[in-house]
Amino acid sequence: MNAIEIKSLTKRYAGVTAVDRLSLDIPEGEFFALLGVNGAGKSTLIRMLSGLTPATEGEALLLGRSITREAAAAKALIGVSPQETAVAPNLTARENLELMAGVYGLPDGAARADEIIAAFRLDEIEKKAARTLSGGWQRRLSIAMALVSGPKLLFLDEPTLGLDIIARRELWAHIRRLKGRITIILTTHYLEEAVALSDRIGIMSRGRLAAVGAAEELIERSGAASFEDAFIALAGEGAVES
């Protein structure tokens, strides 16, 4: 079964088409990375899929639930880890996790928090206020918060942006453990991150999907020597085929 079915999804703002008739299927359990230069439409697409922005046209189904007609049911299936670290600063790490369990209406918030604390090895910071944590810990907590409700789909928006290489690799290790267990959609500017973590990569350009495939396929298709060259060839001017 497909976790995500996107059918001609379009978003227009005043005179600007941010996402243009985009269609895409993502199977359950896949780790899908979405790449593109700034303004390519990645964030708008994620915002539509996570119910934050209504689509102008088209449709998307999350595990069979329509994001337009069954928004609440679709939202209950997803977890979102936004680009910036999104934590409640004066709450402890544990309280942040319990808060997310609460806003998803889960009665066993403390038990869920226990599970996530163990899985993400947050025990040493669970009683610390989130504002006192380092950037790396805050990002780890931020992703953990997106998982506490037990989502079937996880949207990771630039999860390692601004982190040093050690913290980034640590976070990669945590993200890798999720592979295959839930469907993950990652947006990132770090090409090596997409290559290292994802099963397939979609490259967006001017609101449309310029190419979709495994990293090796995209390199082969573009005739480039490296993934970076392939990305530039596929995401650059005039890359989109109609």
Partner 1 sequence: MKMRAFALRTVKEISRDKLTVLFGLGFPLIVLALLSIIQANIPVPLFEINRLAPGVAVFGLSFVALFSGLLIARDRCTSFLMRLLASPMTAADYIAGYMLPMLPIAVLQSVVCLLAATVWGFRLSLNTLACLAALLPAAALFTGIGTMCGSVFTDRQVGSLCGALLTNLSAWLSGVWFDISLLGGAFEKVARILPFANAVEAARAASAGNWSALPLPLANVCLWAAATVATAVLLFRRSMRRN
Please give the residue ranges that form the binding site for partner 1 (CB under 8 A). 50-52, 72, 75-76, 78, 80-91, 95, 98-105, 107, 109, 129, 145-146, 149, 155
Closer to partner 1 by CB, 92 or 198: give it. Answer: 92
**C-beta of residue 134 within 8 angstroms of C-beta of residue 168:** no
**C-beta of residue 90 within 8 angstroms of C-beta of residue 99:** no
- CB 164, min distance to partner 1, A: 21
- CB 213, min distance to partner 1, A: 28
- CB 107, min distance to partner 1, A: 7
- Those residues with Cβ within 8 angstroms of residue 34's Cβ, 6 or more apart along the chain or in another chain: 42, 45, 46, 185, 186, 187, 188, 201, 202, 204
Closer to partner 1 by CB, 148 or 212: give it. Answer: 148
CA–CA distance, 118 with 68 (Å, rounded to integer): 36
Q: In the chain, how many H helices and how many E strands?
A: 9, 10
- CB 193, min distance to partner 1, A: 19
Closer to partner 1 by CB, 145 or 203: give it. Answer: 145
Which tokens go with 172? Answer: 């990669």
- CB 97, min distance to partner 1, A: 11
CA–CA distance, 87 with 144 (Å, rounded to integer): 11
Give the type of residue at 173.
A
- CB 106, min distance to partner 1, A: 9
Q: Report the DSSP pairing between strands 16-27 and 2-13.
A: antiparallel
SS3 26: strand
Closer to partner 1 by CB, 37 or 161: give it. Answer: 161
| Among candidate residues 166, 167, 162, 114, the one with its CA nearest the CA of residue 140 | 167
Closer to partner 1 by CB, 79 or 222: give it. Answer: 79
Closer to partner 1 by CB, 146 or 235: give it. Answer: 146
